[in-house]
Amino acid sequence: MRLSRRRFLRAGAVFGALTALGCARHRLPVHVPPAAYADLPPLGAEVRLLVLGDWGSGQIEQWQVARAMDRAARESGGFHAGLMLGDNFYPAGVDSVDDPAWREYFEQVYDTEHLGRLHWYPVLGNHDYAGNAQAQIDYSRKNPRWHLPDAFWARTWNNAAGAPLVKIIGLDTNKEFTRWPEQMRFLDRELADAGSTPVVVIGHHPVYTCGKLGALPRVKTELRDKLVAARVAAYLAGHEHNHQLIVRDGLTQLIQGGGGKTLTPLIWRHQAKGVIFADESYGFSVLRAGPGGLRFDWRDKDGRLLHAHKL
C-alpha cells in the first residue's frame, strides 16, 4: 500500500517499536474476491446488525474476524447492516477519499460472499483524527456501502410492516471534535423523537471501563447524564481492544473493541464496579432487535459465542 510521507513515518515508527519488542504482526492475506455475493436478507420481524470496533489494523486478526463474521452471516440468514465504533484506520486514519487504506483495510477485507453487499454505519475514533477525519465523511459520497453523512447521525431500522425496532444514534466522542454543543442538541432532539422505540447510542470512547484506557471528561459526565436521563437501552463503545459489559448508575454499556488491533489488557476486571462480563479477545458482536426486545451477543474471531445479554 502506498502511504503519504506523514502516514509512512508514523507507521514506520510503530512497526519499528513492535519489531524491537519482538511483536511484529503478520499482514493481511492476498485478497481473492468471492465468486458470487449473497443478497442481503429481506426485512422480517427481526433486524440483525453486526458490530465491529477498532478494526482497521491490517493485522491477520482483522482478516480472521471478517471471515468469522461471514460465517455468522451464512449461519444466521444474513445481517441487515453493520455498525463500526471508530478507530477505523490505524495508525493515523486516512489522508483522503483516495487513500489506498480504503481498498486494503475496508473494501477488500469485508468483500466476502455474505458481507460484500453489507452497508456500514461508522463513527470516528481518536486514531481517525490523526489523519483526515473529514475524508471519512466525504467517502460516503464515493462508496454507497459507507454511511457517515456527518460526525453524528441517527438511523432507525423497521420490521417488514414498517414498525420501528431500534434507533441507533452515532456520536463523535473525540477531544478534537469542536461541535460538541451542536451534537448534544442533536442528541436531545433524536432522543425526544424516538418515543417508545428502543434507542442504542454508539460512540468510540466508553463511559466506564475495566481496562487500561480512561474516559474523556465530557463523555463520563454530560453524555452519561443524558443517556441515563433518557433511559436508553444501551451505550455501545470501542476504544478498549477487548469485550466488556458494565451496568452501572442506570446505564448499560457494551464495549466491542476486538475488531483487529492488538488487544489491550483488562486490568480492573475484578475491581471495577458493575462489570458483568469482560474478555480479552478478538471478535465481533451482533445486535438483534425483534418482538422480544434487544439482544447483544459477543463472539470471538472463530465465531464462538462468548456472552449474550438481553437489553
Q: To 10 degrees, the CA torsion angle through 130, 132, 206, 164?
A: -170
What is the CATH superfamily name and number for domain 47-310? Metallo-dependent phosphatases (3.60.21.10)
| Number of other CB atoms surrounding residue 159 within 10 Å | 16
Sign for the pseudo-dihedral over CA of 246, 248, 250, 251: negative
Q: Which residues pair with 170 in a beta bridge?
A: 153, 202
Contact yes or no for 154/167 (Cβ under 8 A): yes
d(CA 228, CA 74): 36
Which residues touch 40 (CB under 8 Å, ≥6 apart)? 78, 79, 80, 117, 118
Question: Beta strand pairing status for 275-279 and 283-290?
Answer: unpaired
Q: Which three cell numbers stand for residue 95?
A: 489522508
| Number of other CB atoms surrounding residue 238 within 10 Å | 30
Which residues touch 2 (CB under 8 Å, ≥6 apart)? 100
The sheet carrying 305-310 orders its strands as 120-122, 81-84, 47-52, 283-290, 293-300, 305-310
**Which pLDDT value is given to residue 103?**
97
Q: Which three cell numbers stand for residue 124?
A: 470516528
d(CA 236, CA 259): 14
**Which pLDDT value is given to residue 26?**
56
Give the domain ranges of the chain.
47-310
**Which pLDDT value is given to residue 213?**
85
Q: Which three cell numbers stand for residue 32?
A: 481473492
Contact yes or no for 281/242 (Cβ under 8 A): yes
pLDDT digits (tens), the chain, 311 positions: 334 534 544 444 443 433 333 334 457 899 999 999 999 999 999 999 999 999 999 999 999 999 999 999 999 999 999 999 999 999 999 999 999 999 999 999 999 999 999 999 999 999 999 999 999 999 999 999 999 999 999 999 999 999 999 999 999 999 999 999 999 999 999 999 999 999 999 999 999 999 988 778 999 999 999 999 999 999 999 999 999 999 999 999 999 999 999 999 999 877 789 999 999 999 999 999 999 999 999 999 999 999 999 99
d(CA 209, CA 213): 7
